[in-house]
Chains A and B, each alone.
Chain A
């Protein structure tokens, strides 16, 4: 049998796999550069852990949105609604089970928060399904209409939250064993921030494994690059769309619970307020890239924390400055996703 490789010896060199390491180095390099500027090692550790924790929570909220944009080409400006709904849904568990929240038992605290997270993800996942069918489906491919209708969806969701939970702020108590800090040397590491880092890393590793080790994950990655070809291979990309939208919404719900517990006060606008930050993160990361989104979230949060400490006025615009700097370097974000 004649093979093309025999007929074309010039094709035989094995191309090297280029791993783009530069964006991966940004987070540790930034952290190390800030150490002499911050001056105090314990303060630097506290700022860095706080930045990483905030970054992980932002990643949870942003990762679903970047996949939704990458796969479905949908600009969902209503993503923040799922953050708000997730946070408020958690109150349905955390407020009635206040005794579990206040109990000085790790297991009771974990159980009640775990239950709140499960319920929030379930509700936001189902809402995501309805949102995709009713609001998104009629505007596929129409970006301007997507922006208008999804922003409208978010306003409606916020008003519905007012109707259901009232217009007043709702205090959300952090479980007893999640309070306080570990003191290591002179550095104080807040327990809840460490928990947020753990949850965020778990979400990232799970997403990484699903996207790289499962057929569904590979189909999502392939669909981000060329959805038409995925259909030509015999797969129904609309089902993937719905699945990704539900998963993205559920992740936003998870982020909402974590963010709500972090802020300890809920308002209906909690999701809308963070939407701009979430969009900055996914633009920095490269639209559609989960890895880029992860690095982008860490960078945004760390820069905000360091700037807040070193130059509080700069912190007001640090996100925008970071985004401009990254886009001047890589106009399509840190890890641009290949498109057909």
Chain B
């Protein structure tokens, strides 16, 4: 495994009186897609939010490219090169698609100064965005909103994308397109992907970590987990047949 880009060591997170993460140890290598799997309530979203500094770890360390970012503020973490696509997508529905991407492009001072080549690269993945460029993002469909959310994360080069359940609530046809887009994205980007759609991540993941009860209970190659139905059943309580 190459040098980890992101490393979590014994991370505990409390939300109010609730103890959600109980010592998460996670390595995300540079390049490719690392998948974070787990049942509902396992702590996947909390892990991503802790990495982004939206909730701070009460114990343990989060290192990004060797730097300790455990107690850094969210804007500092974002400026260090992490981009976050929350489960709710977090799009600004009153703003147009163009304005959503413009805000994500921190280095751009005027809306007309966005990198055209980069935008064309994004339109290559998400063609619909070009069509709806000047539409308020709130008027788009769920799939299109997800495209806006992911496009916002890649509108400028970032070192790590944290993406939380991008297929949630999407139609199967859109998910197939999303798989193709992620397959191309992972050639250039490092992605930590939280998902519950097992067949989606089987098609994309390079490495995998499985969470349960606020801990990582398994980590290894995605292909190995995809091939081992007993392990899937043990870790995730699922039969892959039901997802195919």
Give A contacts to B, CB under 8 Å: 1-8, 10-12, 14-18, 215, 218-219, 221-222, 225-226, 228-236, 337-338, 340
Contacts and interface: CB of A to CB of B under 8 A. Distances in A.
Contacts of B106: 233-235
Nearest to B158: A234
Given A4-B126, A215-B102, A232-B84, A14 B90 contact: no
Contacts of A10: 171, 173
Nearest to A339: B93
A15 B104 CA distance: 23
Given A232-B78, A234-B75, A338-B93, A14 B135 contact: yes
B174 A338 contact: no
B181 interface: yes
B29 interface: no
27 contacts: A2-B180, A3-B124, A3-B127, A3-B128, A4-B125, A4-B147, A4-B180, A8-B173, A8-B174, A10-B173, A14-B131, A215-B102, A215-B109, A218-B102, A221-B95, A228-B90, A229-B92, A231-B73, A232-B54, A232-B78, A232-B84, A233-B104, A234-B75, A236-B73, A337-B94, A338-B93, A338-B138
B204 interface: no
B103 A11 contact: no
Nearest to B88: A340
B176 interface: yes
Contact of A7 (B104, B123, B177): B177
A232 B90 CA distance: 10
B177 A3 contact: yes
Given A218-B103, A233-B106, A12 B181 contact: no
B178 A4 contact: yes
A232 to B, nearest CB: 5
B205 interface: no
Contact of B79 (A226, A234, A340): A234
A225 B52 CA distance: 19
Contacts of B104: 233
B215 to A, nearest CB: 25
A218 B184 contact: no
